[in-house]
Amino acid sequence: MDTQHLKAFLTVAQLSSFTLAAEQLHLTQPAISKRIASLEQQLNCKLFDRIGRDIHLTEAGRALLPRARTILQTVKDTEQALSNLSGHISGTLKLATSHHIGLHHLPQVLKYFTREHPEVVLELEFLDSEKAYSAVQRGEVELAMITLSPEDTDNTTATVLWPDPLAFVAAPDHPLTNEPNCELKNLSQYPAILPDPLTYTTQLIRKRFDAKRLPLQTTMATNYLETIKMLVSIGLGWSALPRTMLDEQLRELKIPGQSLQRNLGSIHHSARTLSNAAEAFLGALKQQPATLAG
């Protein structure tokens, strides 16, 4: 079974488009169609239904999809393991990171890594942490630097790199700053500005409110912490932000018994062979904690 045919099949299935698949694989649309037709002929079954402009996997296509991913990943892992034997650090390294980590924790290590390993081509994609887990599990990126899930996830190895304590904050002139003994029940009376409800950070905060059976009012949501900081600083609501972001624009709301911490770190697929470049990047992350903690 030709791996290029399988790659064409996976790309069409992912994008639901022969045209977009051709663009992504730098091929012509007839070339993509020919590869799919050859695969269908070899398997003696139809893999896609073409209804007007819509493309859908057939039952056979849905059955092939996970097996095709496994075959291609096995081939990739084999090639990677053999390549690693040389000890040479080169090639393309696909990384994912959240915007906050990319802005506050990665600049120095990226600078160091590109200087020390000029033969490595870095491809850096900014993803929400939850989406980065999926990208790693699908083999789309080798390493991701993100907010770690509080729960163990299948086929994923996580390394804590930066413990990230959070603080409840509001603008200096927000009514909450005048509360002599501020508690979660006081916060529940005002709107909060938090990341998307499905993010690990917001889930961590919501658990605190749920435990006390308090409502959590969220009138605005954005996954950009710098944007949250700006909205909070002009008095539109309270939030919980990393302590490293606190300055004169914010006032910490000290709530007894409610310390918050999330862990930031790296993840990779536990069943897949890391390239020499990925191993070197992990080493750089672990060896420079003082530089990266800014």
Together in a domain, 187 and 246: yes
Residue where a domain terminates, one of 37, 69, 84: 84
Q: Quick check: pTM over 0.95?
A: no
Give, in degrees to the nearest 5, the angle at Cα 248 between 243 and 253. 55
Spatial distance between the Cα atoms of 145 and 135, rounded to a whole number of angstroms: 12
Together in a domain, 93 and 79: no
List per-residue pLDDT tens for the chain, 294 residues long: 688 999 999 999 989 999 999 998 999 999 999 999 999 999 999 999 987 778 899 999 999 998 998 888 788 777 767 666 667 788 889 999 999 999 888 999 999 999 999 999 999 999 999 899 999 988 889 999 999 988 877 789 999 999 999 999 999 999 999 988 899 999 999 999 999 998 999 999 999 999 999 999 998 888 899 999 999 999 999 999 999 999 999 999 999 888 899 999 999 998 888 888 999 999 999 875 544 433
Together in a domain, 96 and 40: no
Domain ranges, residue 228: 89-294
**Which amino acid is residue 92, in one-letter code?**
T
Together in a domain, 72 and 117: no
Determine contact, residues 1/42, Cβ cutoff 8 Å.
Answer: yes
Together in a domain, 143 and 280: yes
Together in a domain, 8 and 70: yes
Domain count, the chain: 2
Together in a domain, 236 and 116: yes
Together in a domain, 122 and 190: yes
Together in a domain, 46 and 183: no
Helix (H, G, I), strand (E, B) or coil at 160: strand
- And the tokens for 241? 């932000």
Report which of 253, 150, 158, 254 is spatially closest to residue 203, judged by C-alpha positions: 150
